[in-house]
Structure 1
Amino acid sequence: MSKTNNEFFETQVLGHPSGLFVLFFTEMWERFSFYGMRALLVLFLVSALGIGGWDWPRENALALYGTYLALLYLTPIIGGTLADKYLGNRRAIIIGAIIMTLGHASMAIESNPFFLYLGLGLLVVGTGFFKPNMSSFISILYKDFPEKKDGAYTIFYMGVNAGAFLGIMLCGYLGEILGWGWGFGLAGIFMLLGLLQFTFAQGIFGDVGSKPNKEDKKIETDDHTEIEDKLNPFTLLDKLLIVIISVAGLTWVINDPLSKIGTVNFLEFGGTDYSSHTIIVTLILFIYLLGSRILRYSPITRDKMLAVVIFAFFIIFFWASFEQAGGSMSIFAKDYTSRILSGNSALIFNIIDIIITVVPIAIITWVLFLLFKQTFKKYFLSNLILAFSFILIWGIVIWKIYNNFNTYSYEISYQTYQIQEGDALKEYAITSKTIVPENASLVEHSTVIRSANDFVNNDEISIIDIDKKGVNYKYLAPEKAELIDTNISATIVQKKDNEIEIPATWFLILNSLFIIAFAPLFSKWWESKYNPKPANKYAIGLFFLGIGFAFLAYGAAGIPQGAKTASVSIVWLILAYLFHTLGELCVSPVGLSYVSKLVPARMIAFMFGVWYLALAIGNKTSGQMGAMIDDITTKYDISTFFLIFTFVPMIIGVIAILINPVLKKLMHGVK
């Protein structure tokens, strides 16, 4: 047992070394930043220019979203390799955190497209260094204490979900209430704080992870596998195909949003777009490469690797549907869900919101206090930064609660003008730049806005039609009204009962809440005699996923064809997130553990790459499929859009059940 590990285990918090909680908080702030930004990205891109958004078509926003998620699963392959060979885990984590901090800072300048694209690029690169090395760092630290490893990962993933929960709630709230730059900026602030507290607590890890250690990465295999590996080196053709597939696939992934957003299309030649041809040829070459590699192994090894490929196939369909959460489901929350609550409903929601906000933060603050008692003197700066982080969190939460209880609803009146154009009578808003034609007739309208400002009757204000559909208006502060030509003059008629508007990003926190609530139950299930076979776990997860979308399809059934807005109950989104989370809990335990158990040593890196590639394809497909929302809504309706995500996962789930005996045979007893 190393001296380093003895030192690491000297101080205890909740039965684990205090150093684990340094990693806990580092990961928590990184997930805070990632999920906080992710919650805002699509909503920011599709929101009106007048409230700071870019007013993009949904198709373009979801194309960029899918590409961003796909690249996040590709760069860790490179970052993990660099850490193993040259950097070490700790240096890679710090490099990744610095790059991600710069990425979030760049995105805070959201009015300039260059900085947003730069920010997304930096986040992709930074994640490649950060993400794979946090998990492997824990594995190295606990290599002499395997009996404690499961508990350590359980605590670590509590930090993942706590960060996701807080990031979505607070970045989302600030982004939607104060402005998108506030939300993006808050994500960057906590990424920086996570970086600093990790950097100043380096001593707690001794020399672990400071430099590459081949022993830590060594994969134990039997003699037969080692001999077989030497007989199957990567040929020149294999390496050439890997280069071609990587370049072509990456070009297609990046080109997809570029060709939609701007005039750049790397895959257009002679006026013909070869994007579809490129991805089809790339997939054929990849299948050939994978198949040719697998066929060179002995029958047993070949069977095990084929089982991994089948699991990867299932995972593509799961994530293609699941990741609608940050895409089409966020759009559904924004445009099609009734998020305005008043009277008792508003009061009940505010109370529930306070409970689910304050209780988790209080628990994490208590963990922080326990860590302070063990490490405050020795790692003063790191603890001071953590203390500041939580003071900032509590300050934002208190402001959020105050703001929710002090947001008022006002009935306002404003004018439009009508004018005959040919056979049609057209109606137009009157903005600060409008010159009303002499032959037009004025029409008086009334609507309701929500604001924390305390207006009185007959106050003159400026509003903006945030969806450009004449149904949803928002108050503009005077300094913003001066900069926006589309502001509309309005008059306060009367103050109404207090109302609240649930932020569209709020629904994304349900995933983390449900994971925290149900993970212990699923853990007991997996440990019981009723633990399903791997393929059945996938099937159950896909069925849960389909049921979640079925609730959305049913809830949206009354929305007419082509509608861009509606007001369906929030119940359907809550049920959808519940069942999607149950599906995630079924699928997430299977994944990478089976790759490590089934794949021979020489192929482990290649097959991990295949697995992450499957995740990347699934996430990119989520954007591709989500981008169909407008076309399907126009031709059919939005209920049909969600029915596609209902039936596809369920069909794949049935296939998983049917081939379970085949998978069991292919795995040759591996459990």
Structure 2
Amino acid sequence: MSTLRKQKIEESIPVETSNRQKIVASVPQKGFFGHPKGLFTLFFTEFWERFSYYGMKAILVYYMYYSVSKGGLGIDQQTALAIASVYGALIYMSGIIGGWVSDRLIGPSKSLFYGGVIIMFGHIALAIPGSMTMFFVSMILIILGTGLLKPNISTVLGEMYDINDARRDAGFTIFYMSVNLGAFIAPFIVGTVGMKYNFHLGFGIAAIGMFLALVTYVITRKKNLGLAGTFVHNPLSQQEKKTTFIKFGLAAVVLAVIATIAIMTGFLTIDRFIALVGILGFVIPTFYFIYMYRSPKTTKEERSHLIAFIPLFIASVMFWSIQEQGSTILAAFADKRTQLDFAGIHINPSWFQSLNPLFIVVFAPIIGSLWVKLGKKAPTIPVKFGFGLLFAGLSFVIILVPALMGGTGALVNPLWLVLSYFVVVLGELCLSPVGLSATTKLAPAAFSAQMMSMWLLSNAAAQALNAQIVKFYTPATEMTYFGVIGAAAIGLSVILFALSPKIQTFMKDIR
């Protein structure tokens, strides 16, 4: 999963002016590279949290499909790849719950902390050997915990700065570096230990990473964060709490009973659950769109903006579908189809997961400065999305070249895989930051938070889609798989280039 897109750098709900002033006044404003001291707390909290997450993710697919004799669970490879995609989709869907819990019940700071605790227990569950039950328990815990933590840590960061503080963007940039540093280092440590010695030992190291994140947060938050994250922005009244808890409690009991019966009777299988998530991945954003479009709070011009957002959302789903396969399909490709003894060293297949954050750190400033230099001559938002899709499609086409040259049975030079990761990152830098910016610009005033959730759900939809299509990947269909998906992305990019003037008219004055 990409480390750039995972940062939501806008607060979900604005803090009231008076509260904002109180929060900013309570935070020591000098102390970490000229930024508020709280940036230190959040930087290292996020660093260790991302270390734990990407360390776990670097070996998760291998743990699922490796045989029991090799320390894995022995799950069929296609099922393992589908489960990994479903897991990614649910991670993004859970952010909706985490945002609601923060906004209505306990505030960002407590949500962040409780989320971290739940994630840590999820990694501990993964570190327990030989139990399929503990594996699924760990997945549930990590999904719920990440849903609580991820939407709220950026909110806490934003609250430390005055809305007009010139350091604000730079602060988020520094924070963003913590994500990529954690993601870059983790596969070399967790991946090496997990693949070379023991998967569960690797997951244990990931749990330690999350523990260090919590220790950093608990020890330094009171001194460094002041009141940041302590306000519940849109709290439920006591009566609303009672009604809400009753409704949610009843719904949880009903779902638990239905799920138990479905599992015991054999109706709810892994394949059917994967299919269900695939449906939800598209039903939820569709519901969001219709709800916002039909709302009386949405103006005529804002409805035009929403129409312009539809092709961007579809393009985003296609892009993330390819990009997210870097940790599933390409991870399996690195393990089984790549020459791992290269230039005198043996390459651990999990190390390839470090390429994405490495390329982002190196090339994000270059792409960003390019848009600034071009100024008004820079491509429009739809055209940038088109380039993102074009690069994504080419990244899959690149994988076909060594097979065409040396045959489908030969091991592939690892530099081809490096090139594929590099090209898709170029696409990510054209689409992801532009998508975040475009979403804030196109959002109806009454639905700014929901619109950001809509953007993040494009990744959930992409991974829900992947859960359905990765089952078609086999050694026999490898050429067709990469070729069809790569060609589909390139074809969609051509359509987007052609439609970009029309899309721009729906965007009105937004460019």
Distance 1:281 1:57, change over 3 A: closer
- Asked if structure 1 preserves the Cα contact closer than 8 Å seen for 2:124 and 2:204, the reply is yes
Q: Which residue of the partner structure matches residue 647 of structure 1?
A: 487
Aligned residues: 468
Pair 1:265–1:167, CA change in 2 (3 A): farther
From 94, 100, 105, give the equivalent of 2:124.
105
**Alignment equivalent of 2:66, drawn from 13, 28, 47:** 47
Task: Report Cα offsets for 1:205-239 as digits up to 9, x if no partner.
Answer: 11121121459xxxxxxxxxxxxxxxxxxxxxxxx
| 1:578 counterpart (406, 422, 436) | 422
Residue of 505, 522, 533 corresponding to 2:367 = 522
For the pair 1:26 / 2:25, whether they are aligned, the reply is no
Check if 1:659 corresponds to 2:504: no
Give the conservation status (yes or no) of the 8 Å contact 1:327–1:623: no
SS state at 2:339 partner: coil
1:477-528: per-residue Cα shift (whole Å, max 9, x none)?
Answer: xxxxxxxxxxxxxxxxxxxxxxx42111111111111111111101101212
Letter in structure 2 aligned against 1:535: P
Q: How far apart are 1:599 and its partner, in Å? A: 2.1
Give 1:280 shift. 6.6
Larger gyration radius, structure 1 or structure 2: 1
Give the letter aligned to residue 182 of structure 1: L
1:568 equivalent among 397, 407, 412: 412
Q: CA RMSD in A?
A: 3.1
CA contact (8 A) 2:23 2:159 kept: no
How much has 1:317 moved relative to structure 2? Answer: 0.5
Q: Which of the residues 206, 211, 215 maps onto 2:231?
A: 211
Residue identity opposite 1:329 in structure 2 = L
**Which residue of 1 is the match for residue 434 of structure 2?**
590
Deviations 1:429-480 (A, max 9, x none): xxxxxxxxxxxxxxxxxxxxxxxxxxxxxxxxxxxxxxxxxxxxxxxxxxxx
Alignment of 1:362-373 (within 5 A): none
Give the counterpart of 1:8 among 16, 27, 32: 27
For the Cα contact (< 8 Å) 1:552–1:573, is it kept in 2?
Answer: yes
In structure 2, distance between residues paired with 1:73 and 1:282 = 10
Secondary structure of the corresponding residue to residue 670 of structure 1: coil
Counterpart secondary structure, 1:652: helix
Query: Which amino acid in the other structure matches residue 209 of structure 1?
Result: G
- Check the 8 A contact 1:46/1:56 in 2, yes or no: yes
Distance 1:129 1:524, change over 3 A: same
Work out the CA distance in 2 between the residues paired with 1:289 and 1:549.
31
Q: d(CA) in 2 for partners of 1:590 and 1:613?
A: 16
Q: CA deviation at 1:12?
A: 2.6
So what's the TM-score if we normalise by structure 2? 0.84
Deviations 1:365-388 (A, max 9, x none): xxxxxxxxxxxxxxxxxxxxxxxx
Q: How much has 1:58 moved relative to structure 2?
A: 1.4
Distance 1:154 1:199, change over 3 A: same
Which structure's residues are more often helix, by fraction?
2
Report the CA distance shift for 1:274/1:73 in structure 2 as closer, same or farther (over 3 A). Answer: closer
Identity of aligned residues (%): 30
Structure 2 vs 1, CA of residues 3 and 509 (structure 1 numbering), >3 Å: closer, same or farther? same
Shift of 1:545: 1.3
Q: In the superposition, relative to structure 1, how do residues 144 and 558 fare at CA in structure 2: closer, same or farther (>3 Å)?
A: closer
Partner of 2:308: 307
Distance 1:89 1:315, change over 3 A: same
Q: Is the 8 A contact 1:554 1:639 kept in 2?
A: no
* Residue 144 of structure 1: how far off its partner (Å): 4.2
The separation in 2 between residues aligned to 1:326 and 1:278, in whole angstroms, is 19
| Separation of aligned partners in 2, 1:278 and 1:7 | 43
**Unmatched tracts of structure 1, length 5 or more:** 216-242, 347-499
CA distance in structure 2 between the aligned counterparts of 1:82 and 1:74, rounded to whole angstroms: 14
Q: Comparing 314-323 with 13-22, which one deviates more in the overlay?
A: 13-22
Match of 1:621 in 2: 465
Match of 2:267 among 265, 270, 283: 265
Whether the 8 Å CA contact 2:58–2:187 is kept in 1: the answer is yes
Q: Is the 8 A contact 1:559 1:639 kept in 2?
A: no
Match of 1:154 in 2: 173
Greater per-residue strand proportion: 1
CA contact (8 A) 1:106 1:116 kept: yes
C-alpha change, 1:163 and 1:642, in structure 2 (3 Å) is same
Q: Give me the whole-angstrom Cα distance separating, in 1, the residues matched to 2:265 and 2:392.
A: 37
Q: Would you say 1:545 and 2:385 are equivalent positions?
A: no
- Of stretches 77-86 and 118-127 in structure 1, the one that deviates more from structure 2 is 77-86
Equivalent residues in 2 for 1:320-331, closer than 5 Å: 320-331=321-332
Cα displacement string for residues 52-84 of structure 1 (whole angstroms, at most 9, x for unaligned residues): 012222111011111100000011111111111
Report the equivalent of 2:382: 535
Question: Which is bigger in relative contact order (C-alpha 8 A, separation at least 6)?
Answer: 2
Residue aligned with 2:167, SS: helix
SS at match of 1:595: helix
SS in 2 for 1:17: coil
Asked if the contact 1:30/1:190 (under 8 Å) is kept, the reply is yes
